[in-house]
Amino acid sequence: MQKVYSATIEIPCEDAEIIKKSLEVENEHEFSVNIYAEKNKLVIKIEANRISMLQAGINSYLRAIKSLI
């Protein structure tokens, strides 16, 4: 059985739905991502089979969010 590593990122922001739509374009095969907006909060859940891929996913999405906010 292979381990699954996961991280959840919650970012308070007023335009959560717009940012969610912008981030949905990104698609990586090394990790899976679920993005949703809750009121004034953006939530990103990332899962990967390797810790290095989880780190790559986190870095990728944080960079993208930084450019959008």
**Could you read off the pLDDT of 20-64 as tens digits, one per residue?**
888 876 666 788 899 999 888 999 999 999 999 999 999 988 998
| Residue boundaries of the structural domains of the chain | 5-68
Q: In this structure, what token pair is assigned to residue 60?
A: 């990728």
Tell me, which fold does domain 5-68 have in CATH? TATA-Binding Protein (3.30.310)
**pTM for the structure as a whole:** 0.83
Question: Which residues have C-beta within 8 Å of that of residue 15, sequence separation ≥ 6?
Answer: none
Q: CA of 11: how far to CAs of 26, 51, 59, in Å?
A: 18, 22, 14
Which residue, among 28, 27, 30, has the nearest Cα to 5 in the 3D structure? 30
Q: How far apart are CA 66 and CA 19, in angstroms?
A: 11
**Could you read off the pLDDT of 3-31 as tens digits, one per residue?**
899 999 999 988 888 888 888 766 667 88
> What local confidence, expressed as pLDDT, does residue 65 receive?
87
At residue 1 the predicted structure's pLDDT band, cuts being 50, 70 and 90, is low
**Residue corresponding to tokens 């919650």:** 10
User: In this structure, which amino acid lies at residue 30?
Assistant: E
